[in-house]
Amino acid sequence: MSDFINGFWSNYIAVFTTAAIAGCALLLWITARKKVPARSDNTTGHVWDEDLTEMNNPLPLWWVGLFVLTIVFGIGYLFLYPGFGDYPGSLKWSTRGEYTAEVTTANKELEPLYAQFTAKAPEELAGDPAAMAVGERLFMNNCAQCHGSDARGGKGFPNLTDNDWLHGGTPDKINETITKGRIGMMPPMAAAVGSADDVKNVANYVLSLSGAPHDSVRAQLGKPKFVACAACHGADGKGNQAIGAPNLTDDIWLHGYGEQAVIAMVNNGKTNQMPAQEEKLTTAQIHVLTSYVWGLSHGRPQASAKQ
């Protein structure tokens, strides 16, 4: 119930639950008390379709018993389990608690398996097909939605199979990226560069760095403006992994290729985030994933080919 900002809905549910149970009990009580005067032949005196009469028998005891039992069960259930407003129930059971317990048990069972994996360095583990099969499954479940099932990424999501790294491609750096997450932040830079024309010029200079098609006159004019970018991307434009500033001299574009894409980057900036996994995955799982990701760009034996 913690999703609600006040107790209104909790009270609302509690009141209706109480009213419904009390209503059932009341109905039972009233029908038990109300006596319909019977005639000598034990019918109520109602006649339908000329000769259809209604007997005046009491409710069968087993039926009344079941009805009472459902009320008792309902009260007992609401006492033990969550259901009565935000009262958590005396057993303190919750789906979240059950899930956490299951994950903890599963992780415990897998400990011996992971112990073999954590004993090896990522470079070595990347050549172990059993570990890579586990790594591939972890990747599919936790990473593929953003980086793609082939890990080649897409616009805004880096390709993990090449040797171009925003934050560093050593096993240590990859591990750090997965564990703590990363934020790539480029502020809007248009004001620092100057007019719209200056922005266009610096964009052409950026394109010239990787030999992409560009206007060489504009690139020459834009070159001095690149000082505004050098603090992060380096004077030579080769980037800086310490702050996740990409290399602008290669042919790899995270946010799109061409003059318009670069102009948009300069005008709008970009904040891009890789979510931290330390809450979700164990350190052993992250170790296996690190090896898997490192292996993708280091020609490890393909685990999927062996499955």
Residues that bind ligand HEC (CB under 6 A): 142-143, 145-147, 156-158, 160, 165-167, 174, 177-178, 182, 184-187, 189, 193, 202, 206, 228-229, 231-233, 243-246, 248, 253-255, 262, 265-266, 270, 272-275, 277, 289, 293
Nearer to ligand HEC, 24 or 264 (CB): 264
Which of 113, 145, 143, 155 lies closest to 130, judged by CA? 113
User: What's the closest the beta carbon of residue 86 comes to ligand HEC, in angstroms?
Assistant: 32
Nearer to ligand HEC, 131 or 245 (CB): 245
User: What's the closest the beta carbon of residue 242 comes to ligand HEC, in angstroms?
Assistant: 10
Which of 299, 289, 294, 254 lies closest to 117, judged by CA? 289
Q: How far apart are the first and last CA of the chain?
A: 44
DSSP 8-state secondary structure symbol assigned to residue 179: H
Q: Has 186 been labeled as part of a binding site?
A: yes
User: What's the closest the beta carbon of residue 102 comes to ligand HEC, in angstroms?
Assistant: 20
Nearer to ligand HEC, 116 or 273 (CB): 273
Q: Has 146 been labeled as part of a binding site?
A: yes
User: What's the closest the beta carbon of residue 1 comes to ligand HEC, in angstroms?
Assistant: 28
User: What's the closest the beta carbon of residue 141 comes to ligand HEC, in angstroms?
Assistant: 8
Q: Has 232 been labeled as part of a binding site?
A: yes
Cα 253 to Cα 71, 120, 149, 304: the distances in Å are: 66, 34, 20, 28
Nearer to ligand HEC, 86 or 162 (CB): 162
Q: H/E element holding 61? A: helix 61-80
Identity (one letter) of the amino acid at 10? S
Question: At a CB cut-off of 8 Å and minimum separation 6, what does 164 contact?
Answer: 158, 246, 247, 250, 252
Nearer to ligand HEC, 140 or 217 (CB): 140
214, 208 contact by CB (below 8 A): yes
Identity (one letter) of the amino acid at 289? L
User: What's the closest the beta carbon of residue 234 comes to ligand HEC, in angstroms?
Assistant: 10
Radius of gyration of the CA atoms of the chain, in A: 35
Nearer to ligand HEC, 78 or 139 (CB): 139
Q: Has 147 been labeled as part of a binding site?
A: yes
What six digits make up the tokens of 54? 């209604």
User: What's the closest the beta carbon of residue 134 comes to ligand HEC, in angstroms?
Assistant: 13
Residue nearest to ligand HEC as judged by C-beta position: 184
Nearer to ligand HEC, 78 or 248 (CB): 248
Q: Has 229 been labeled as part of a binding site?
A: yes
Q: Has 167 been labeled as part of a binding site?
A: no
- Which own/partner pairs from 159-168 qualify as long-range (CB within 8 Å, at least 24 positions apart)? 159/252, 160/293, 160/296, 160/297, 161/296, 161/297, 162/252, 162/297, 163/297, 164/246, 164/247, 164/250, 164/252, 165/241, 166/239, 166/241, 166/244, 166/245, 166/246, 166/254, 167/241, 167/244, 168/241
The annotated binding site for heme c is made up of: 143, 146-147, 186, 229, 232-233, 274
The annotated binding site is made up of: 143, 146-147, 186, 229, 232-233, 274
